[in-house]
Amino acid sequence: SGAGMAAVRDVEIDPEGTFKYILVRLQRPGGEEQRDIVRGTKAAEFHNHIFEKVNPEMEKLGYECKCLGGGKIDHNSKDKKIRVFGLSTGYGKADHSVTVEILKKVYTDYEITWSDDKK
């Protein structure tokens, strides 16, 4: 059901700091319905640690997950700014422009930018 997918939050990232993130595509097995979500946390030393947490959660809800790439997020909640940059060695670079569009749905009053910079 569409409600199931709607129950999954678009974005789950740390409230502050610089950390790794991944862009994940959710899909119903055999279904047309799909959407992309953003997950990031300082707790993850490597990008695959984030995926290894998200994947079983989503499988329980009946979704297949595919990591579309990763990078880093710099989240400054005081100034309401988010910067998306960098890449994942294992998964490659996420399309940061897509990530920004997803972040904008949640952080509506933020200035959100992206670049291909490594730092």
84-99 residues labelled b (16+ CB within 10 A) or e (exposed): bbbbbeebeebebebb
Non-local (6+) Cβ contacts of 73 within 8 A are: 13, 18, 19, 20, 21, 40, 82, 83, 84
Instruction: Decide if 96 is catalytic.
Output: no
Report whether 104 belongs to an annotated binding site. Answer: no
Tokens of 97: 């422009």
Marked catalytic residue, from 47, 49, 75, 96: 47
Contact 40, 48 (CB under 8 A): no
Active site residues: 47
Query: Which amino acids are annotated as binding site for substrate, given as ranges?
Result: 20
Query: Which amino acids are annotated as binding site, given as ranges?
Result: 20
